Amino acid sequence: MSAALVSDGVRRHPSVISGIGVVAPNGVGRERFWSACLRGEHGIRTLDRSLSPRYPLKVAGLVADAGPVPARLAVQTDRWTHLAFVACEEALADAGLQTDELDPARLSVILATASGGTEFGQREMQGLYTGGPRRVTVWQSIAWFYAASTGQLSIRHGAKGPSSAIAAEQAGAIQALGEARRQVGRADLVVISGGTDASLCPYGQVAQVSSGRISTAADPLSAFLPFDERSTGAVPGEGGAILVVERDAGARDRRVRPYATVAGICHTYGATDPCGRSLVEAMRGALADAALRPEDIDIIFADGSGVRNDDDAEATALAEVFADRIPTVALPKALFGRLYAGSATDLAAAALAIRDQQIPSAGQQLRPRPSTRLTVHTGPARPCRIEAVMVLARGYPGFTSVAILTRPSEARTS
Amino acid sequence: MSELPITTYKSIVIDCVGQIDDADFENAIAKRFRLSDLGFDSLALMALTTQLHDVVGVFIEPDDISLRITLTDLLAQVNGELAKAGAT
């Protein structure tokens, strides 16, 4: 979305993030997640290899206990949707929303997903191959596909506004946020946005390992070190975040102070882009959309894939846009892995950083290569003036998205 | 099988709509809960009839019953079909 394509509605009615729910490997629940990010607590753990002994992935960001899911929904949905249920309940409560009091036409669900219900799908395929067609349950028809979480949340909360599912790997949640912002600008909607993923079963691993970008390192604490000399690739994780997006005026009418204003968004695509041109264009597009200059950005939540060429391209792109004044880089995903719909957790962390005026830690193991010229914050959280945050995300094989969140007047405080 | 054991019936229902504890299941039978009261929807109904066919050998067309049928009446219908099959 270039700045020129942003509608008048988006300009007249700024979108804000008014509710956040998080289910992440280093913390289930918004405040637990954020507290872990501030303290630099890891959520990457050793995988139970008995489930997939022949696959090279040894560690991943694992959600230990996401919390209860209604039994009827649990049998007919994938784990990825379970995580969305949990995060959504928290986000709606945080936004002070009772969905049964909303006009259904005013409530939308726009979620990102990268994998769909791979665990559920694998179980059904195993049933098919070992027991025949009658072993495939009716739930397979609704559990595996990309729009399943969007559909389930819309049914559960009675949402009948425009809803969709966006598959753009790591960039998906920023794209979902962009679409939410567009819908909020067009009509006075409340949008359940963000996204979750849970694709660590053997079937899910096959899809990821085939990209050649996954770390096969065994030490949970050092397997995922973006921008580091010792980097060996990306470590996948499960979880994500749900964000409630609505008009600033709507949140304030309920006496809810928003976390952040969605000030600028831009998407580009560059499947073969070793120099990071698509990222440069996306950053500049988002700055133009937000009517900000590079020097207005206080922190950058980097994409940090952990793949050396991509990390180099990202550092080069940042240097091109910010010259010799690249803001401090926040990289909390080094603590819990890439969550695929995972720019949702970056967006949640960025909004919480604005709320608390603190930069989260990337963990003390990370030591960025000097050649990247990046200052990644690796120590414990530190206070910092934060008015504008840029969130970068690149989804394999070329989705590139950048969001800028700014501090609203009368912002939420912790 | 001449009659569907209640424990088997319960396990089939649980497979379709998730956990139900013993007290709730007995309550649902005693108070003549409808399938819709237990959270069944059209897909869950299809799953239920498929499971009944697989486990008990009785096939009931989903279109022939509705979500308004009670657990008790459905059990009686299954047992009626089993009795008919036993008589022939």
Residue A186 vs residue A414, higher pLDDT: A186
Answer whether residue A364 shows pLDDT above 80.
Answer: yes
pLDDT in tens, A225-266: 999 999 999 999 999 999 999 999 999 999 999 999 999 999
| Contact across the interface for A72 and B20, Cβ inside 8 Å | no
- Cβ neighbours of B17 in A, within 8 Å: 71-72, 75
Whether residue A362 contacts residue A374, with contact meaning beta carbons closer than 8 Å, is answered with no
ipTM over 0.90: no
pLDDT in tens, A104-140: 999 999 999 999 999 999 999 999 999 998 889 999 9
| Contact across the interface for B17 and A73, Cβ inside 8 Å | no
Confidence of residue A3 (pLDDT cuts 50, 70, 90): very low
Identity of the residue in A72, A134, A138 whose CB atom sits nearest the CB atom of B18? A72
Identity of the residue in A72, A134, A142 whose CB atom sits nearest the CB atom of B39? A72
- Of A81, A57, A80, the closest CA to residue A211 belongs to A57
Confidence of residue A14 (pLDDT cuts 50, 70, 90): very high
Q: Is A84 helix (H, G, I), strand (E, B) or coil?
A: helix
User: Scanning the structure block, which residue is given the tokens 């799953």?
Assistant: B47
| Contact across the interface for A71 and B17, Cβ inside 8 Å | yes
Q: How many CB atoms lie within 10 A of CB A217?
A: 21
Name the burial class of residue A186, with classes exposed (0-12), middle (13-18) and buried (19+) by CB atoms within 10 angstroms of its CB. middle
Answer whether residue A274 shows pLDDT above 80.
Answer: no
Tell me, what's the pLDDT at A10? 86
Tell me, what's the pLDDT at A107? 98
| Contact across the interface for A75 and B50, Cβ inside 8 Å | no
pLDDT in tens, A347-362: 999 999 999 999 999 9
Identity of the residue in A75, A76, A134 whose CB atom sits nearest the CB atom of B54? A134
Tell me, what's the pLDDT at A5? 58
d(Cα A93, Cα A91) in Å, to the nearest integer?
5
- Please tell me the distance in Å from B88's CA to the nearest CA on chain A: 27
Residue A392 vs residue B2, higher pLDDT: A392
Query: What is the pTM for the complete model shown?
Result: 0.93
Tell me, what's the pLDDT at A4? 47
**Measured between CB atoms, does B47 come within 8 Å of chain A?**
yes
**How wide is the angle at C-alpha A284 spanned by C-alphas A227 and A14, nearest 5°?**
110
Q: At what angle do helices B22-30 and B71-87 cross, to 10 degrees?
A: 80
- Report CA dihedral (B33, A151, A197, A186) to the nearest 10 degrees: -140
Mutation to test the B interface, candidates A75, A139, A141, most B Cβ within 10 Å: A75
Minimum Cα–Cα distance from A141: chain B residue: B43
pLDDT in tens, A57-66: 999 999 999 9
- Please tell me the distance in Å from B19's CA to the nearest CA on chain A: 6
**Measured between CB atoms, does B28 come within 8 Å of chain A?**
no
Distances (CA, A) of A256 to A245, A249, A410: 12, 10, 10
Mutation to test the A interface, candidates B11, B12, B15, B19, most A Cβ within 10 Å: B19
Answer whether residue B4 shows pLDDT above 70.
Answer: yes
Mutation to test the B interface, candidates A76, A138, A141, A155, most B Cβ within 10 Å: A138
Average pLDDT over residues A83-100: 97
pLDDT in tens, B24-77: 888 888 889 999 988 888 899 999 999 999 999 999 998 888 899 999 999 999
Identity of the residue in A74, A137, A141 whose CB atom sits nearest the CB atom of B18? A74
| Contact across the interface for A71 and B18, Cβ inside 8 Å | yes
pLDDT in tens, A145-189: 999 999 999 999 999 999 999 999 999 999 999 999 999 999 999
Minimum Cα–Cα distance from A70: chain B residue: B18
Strands A299-301 and A328-330: parallel
- Cβ neighbours of A72 in B, within 8 Å: 17-18, 38-39, 44
- Cβ neighbours of A71 in B, within 8 Å: 17-20
User: Scanning the structure block, which residue is given the tokens 């909004």?
Assistant: A351
Average pLDDT, rounded, for chain A: 94
